[in-house]
Amino acid sequence: MKDIIKLNNQYNIKIINKNEKIPIEGINIKNLKISKILKNKNIILKIDFNEFSKEEYKRILKKILLIKKIYIKNFEKKQNDKNIIAYIINFNKDCTKQKDFISGIDAIFFNTRYERYNFIYDTVCNYLDNYFYGKNLCDFKDNKCGEKRNTSSNTGCCHHFKHKILGPFSKLVSCEYLNKENYKCTAKCISCKLFTCDYLESKGIKFKIKDILLLDTFFNPIQKFFIKYMVFTPKEKIIKRLMKI
């Protein structure tokens, strides 16, 4: 396993092996206090996965985000020419929660909020796409999913009512962002990707924002509302809305 995790920005994380000496300048994130930051011109975090539970990941990421916002100049930018900002101990590359935590650190160290939101958006969308890829969880057969098997619809979830104010006279139409030739989405809508119908939920498949660390950590309740309900909306419009809140 490589001992350096490269983040998308200018920083890196170094993985410390069990037998390797922990650098003395590493500040334990669990015990980090403002007074310690003020006494250190350069900050390198020490994160030991054995010292905190999965339930603490969100709290610790928020602490790192606050530190970064206020004391970005204190973070070490040159450590053996590798731009190390944190040492990680007891890291399990096969643990999804730990990898999500690393993605959270990655998100924190983007220069702007827009870059952070864009990274989180793409990361979560890729996760959701990979969750379904190659599994046919929707049980598609002859262009019809399990939910629509006994209907005339072959658009699955990709349809909505036009002119809702007309009530029963409204028209059910296909999503305008659905490519009719290959039935692929052109909007990259995270809200649609998070949606699970009754058929999927009956199979135990349901996505909740509170269970996705990146979404739960970096967005407030109002933003989470829009992330959940802005279906049939392109990525650019969703991020633009999130930036206004």
Residue 137: the pLDDT is 87
Residue 160: the pLDDT is 73
Q: Categorize the per-residue pLDDT at 1 as very low, low, confident or very high, splitting at 50, 70 and 90.
A: very low
Q: Which residues contact 46 (CB under 8 A, 6 or more apart)?
A: 22, 23, 26, 27, 28, 29, 86, 87, 89
Tokens 């649609």 -> residue: 192
Tokens 């002119």 -> residue: 163
Q: What is the DSSP letter of 55?
A: G
Determine the Cα–Cα distance for residues 208 and 195; give it in Å rounded to an integer: 9
Q: Categorize the per-residue pLDDT at 12 as very low, low, confident or very high, splitting at 50, 70 and 90.
A: confident
DSSP 132-156: HTTT-TT--BTTB-GGGTTSS--ST
Task: Compare 2 and 140 and report the one with higher pLDDT.
Answer: 140
Q: Categorize the per-residue pLDDT at 38 as very low, low, confident or very high, splitting at 50, 70 and 90.
A: low
DSSP 166-203: GGGG-EEEE-TTB-TTT--BSS--HHHHH---HHHHTT
Q: What is the mean pLDDT of residues 147-152?
A: 79
The pLDDT mean for the chain works out to 83
Q: Categorize the per-residue pLDDT at 86 as very low, low, confident or very high, splitting at 50, 70 and 90.
A: confident
Which residues are registered as beta bridge partners of 144? 141
Q: What is the mean pLDDT of residues 145-157?
A: 77
Classify residue 21 by burial, with Cβ atoms within 10 Å: 0-12, 13-18, 19+. Answer: exposed
Classify residue 141 by burial, with Cβ atoms within 10 Å: 0-12, 13-18, 19+. Answer: exposed
Token code pair at residue 187 = 């909007």
The three-class DSSP label of residue 43 is strand
Residue 121: the pLDDT is 98
Q: What is the pTM of this model?
A: 0.86
Q: What is the DSSP letter of 2?
A: -
Which element (helix H / strand E) includes 160?
A: strand 159-162
pLDDT digits (tens, 9 = 90+) for 111-128: 899 999 999 999 999 999
Share of the chain above pLDDT 90, in %: 39
What backbone torsions phi and psi does residue 103 show, to the nearest 5 degrees?
A: -60, -35
Q: Is 64 left (phi over 0), alpha (psi -120 to 50) or beta?
A: alpha
pLDDT digits (tens, 9 = 90+) for 196-228: 988 899 999 999 999 999 999 999 999 999 999
Residue 76 has pLDDT above 60, yes or no: no
pLDDT digits (tens, 9 = 90+) for 161-184: 776 555 555 677 888 888 877 778
Residue 105: the pLDDT is 93
Q: Categorize the per-residue pLDDT at 142 as very low, low, confident or very high, splitting at 50, 70 and 90.
A: confident
